[in-house]
Structure 1
Amino acid sequence: MTDPMNIDAKLAEFPRTRLMSSATPVERLDRLSHRLGIDLWIKRDDLTSLSFGGNKTRQLEFYFGEARQQGADTILITGAVQSNFVRSAAAAAAKLGMQSVLQLEERVPGMGEHYYRSGNVLLAQLLGAEHMSYPVGEDEAGADNALHERADQLRAEGRTPYVIHLGINHPPLGALGYVPGGAELNEQIGDFDAAVVPSGSGSTHGGFLTGLRLSGQTAPVYGICVRRDRDQQHARMQKVLGKLADLMQFDPALVMNGINVWDGALAPGYGQVGSSTREALTLMARTEGIFLDPVYTAKTFAGLLGLLAEGVIHKGQKVVVLHTGGQPALFGYQEELQPN
């Protein structure tokens, strides 16, 4: 089994721009532990150092590393209207003296004015990002092609663009960024019985699982579906992990049997607030004073509650939930989250 020092050596082979100022803390949630009957801990990746924090900071270190190695002066990226990824990319670009082009997809139907003007949208505007729109929410190849068309225009203007792809058929540099996150948690907390993480693009879930396994940690990691159903997400995770194994040159069998996905909190769909999402968000806020976001982390915590109710996670177990940030999106969901 590979140890964390070998992880560091392997990651050193890839260009990287450091955006993390330090390790993020792990905290015990005492009141929720008592209420739920488990030993509950939270990995606070909402406290990464860049622009309101969040998990995307880790992923961007390797994208910007490659971009700067190529001499890029402009970053292009796609995400949902309230995407934390595009906001974080715009912040990293500003920090590094680069420009950013953010393409916003229409993934969430029926949203009100605040969704399009507040939260991450407002922050990206303050960061000076250029905005584009893409009318389809489930067309990764089409969204990537639209970015490449804009990149061609920028080249004609004398700029050097770098595209962060949305589609899965590209090297998983975002997943590579979360491998040290898994190793970091292993060093901080030691043995635990289960981890619960969001599973959307698969980058955070896949990298986190890989970092834990390469560190010798065998506890199950449950990915909570935030965008696709269980079967679709399982297939996506296989692709992500296979590509990550190729990139890092380790045996994919080490991680393939560790794919666990659960979609019981997905309804009514990506970026939409169902009853379990609202209840989880409220419970965390009123019990621990920690805010979750409606797209990823509230569904992740709802997944933990669902796994506990189903007996997949057992009373008395030591459980870690990954907080991936995203709180600025709360302000874009005012209509959905206002108390009745």
Structure 2
Amino acid sequence: MIDNFPRIRLGHFPTPIESLQNITKGLGGPEIFIKRDDCTGLATGGNKTRKLEFIMPDAIKNKADLVVTVGAIQSNHARQTAAACAILGIKCLIVLEQRLANAPESYMNSGNIFLNKIFGAEMVLCPTNKNVEEFAKEIMDDRKRQGANPYFIPVGGSNHLGELGYIECMREIIEQDSEKLFTHIILATGSGGTHAGLIAGKAHYQSDIEIIGISIKDKKLDQEEKVFRLAKNSCDFIQCKSLDRKNVIVEDAYVGEGYAIPTEGMKKALKLMARKEAILLDPVYSGKAFDGLIDLVKKGYFKDSDKILFIHTGGSAAIPAYEWAF
């Protein structure tokens, strides 16, 4: 079904699934596996590559000569969008939103910001008194007057096209899990597109795997409603009729003080993954999500016989920008 939609190959798929043997042993609970979407290959990898494979054909169809997107200062989505544009020869403009108060210089200039420059993207900082998407629209209107034909990609690539990437990922997981071992999928949920795509894929492919999103920004009910709305749009788009609201599950106890603000749990989880499995998580998304997974294991949320798959959404390129937090 997904094969019927236009797609440009930007990544390395299928991404591997690995057993986290050392962490599993240390926690003494269910067996934990990791889906390495940090290894998608585009611009150090990450989950947005899957989305961009379905979004960029629409930009080309619309004859765009400028792709405009938005994100936080250390946005992984922005970095991968800049890289996709570089491959396709399309100019990229990123409107950045400052969400971290009193950010140090390293946060503002290293990590993904430095990589955006390497990929040739133009960056504009949104004024603090303006909505980032409205400000991006103002810039697009101005560029249109100058003769450009801009194409807008929403934050995180979270729309019905981007979510095709994670409907496809759900199929990939099901095919890799030929023995039907996995009982749960755990991932970070922010703009919601990755989570929504998996939920739509669960419905479309009639999977019994329970999917739990660890919020990195919003409250449980708000995030669940956002993800359900996005998943419903995706299901409508691919004509899947079996979506169930009860399948959208979010845990919100690991956000801390807010988006992109480091927590002690995130730092411990990131160090644990690095020192036990030599895998780098990121401080904003997968670090907080893995903190949530560890805590749920310790609280007895899972049975020892469960098999948990953690989706590594990438983002380790941002670690240098967070040296101050460690």
**Equivalent residue for 1:109?**
101
What is the identity percentage for the equivalent residue pairs of Structure 1 and Structure 2?
35
Q: Provide the TM-score with structure 1 as the length reference.
A: 0.90
**Equivalent residue for 1:66?**
58
Note the C-alpha offset of 1:147: 1.6
Note the C-alpha offset of 1:216: 2.8
Please point out which of 164, 167, 176 is paired with 1:176.
Answer: 164
Note the C-alpha offset of 1:136: 4.1
Note the C-alpha offset of 1:153: 2.2
Correspondence 1:143-158 to 2 at 5 A: 143-158=132-147
Q: Quote the Cα distance in structure 1 between the aligned partners of 2:321 and 2:159.
A: 32
**Equivalent residue for 2:45?**
53
Matched, 1:312 2:301: yes
Note the C-alpha offset of 1:182: 1.1
Q: Quote the Cα distance in structure 1 between the aligned partners of 2:253 and 2:156.
A: 25
Matched, 1:206 2:196: yes
Q: Provide the TM-score with structure 2 as the length reference.
A: 0.94
Note the C-alpha offset of 1:53: 0.2
Gaps of at least 5 residues in structure 1 are 1-8
- Alignment CA distance shift 1:128-1:267 (3 Å): same
- Cα deviation 1:31-76 (Å, max 9, x = unaligned): 1121122211100000002100000001111211100011111110
| SS of corresponding position for 2:134 | helix
Correspondence 1:249-264 to 2 at 5 A: 249-251=239-241, 253-264=242-253
**Equivalent residue for 1:195?**
185
Note the C-alpha offset of 1:106: 1.0
Please point out which of 263, 271, 283 is paired with 1:294.
Answer: 283
Matched, 1:331 2:288: no
**Equivalent residue for 2:120?**
128
Letter in 2 for 1:84: N
Q: Which portions of structure 1, spanning 4 or more consecutive aligned residues, are displaced by more than 4 angstroms?
A: none
- Alignment CA distance shift 1:297-1:242 (3 Å): same
Q: Quote the Cα distance in structure 1 between the aligned partners of 2:206 and 2:159.
A: 25
Q: Quote the Cα distance in structure 2 between the aligned partners of 1:171 and 1:316.
A: 36
| SS of corresponding position for 2:74 | coil
- Alignment CA distance shift 1:69-1:12 (3 Å): farther
**Equivalent residue for 2:268?**
279
Q: Quote the Cα distance in structure 2 between the aligned partners of 1:315 and 1:276.
A: 23
8 Å CA contact 1:143, 1:166 repeated in 2: no
Please point out which of 38, 43, 55 is paired with 2:30.
Answer: 38
8 Å CA contact 1:82, 1:329 repeated in 2: yes
**Equivalent residue for 1:217?**
207
**Equivalent residue for 1:3?**
none
Root mean square deviation of aligned Cα? 1.8
Please point out which of 71, 84, 100 is paired with 1:92.
Answer: 84
Note the C-alpha offset of 1:119: 0.1
Q: What is the number of equivalent residue pairs in this alignment?
A: 323
8 Å CA contact 2:77, 2:155 repeated in 1: no
Please point out which of 229, 233, 241 is paired with 2:223.
Answer: 233
Letter in 2 for 1:202: G
- Cα deviation 1:125-179 (Å, max 9, x = unaligned): 1111111111349x7xx322222222222222222210112399x9432222211
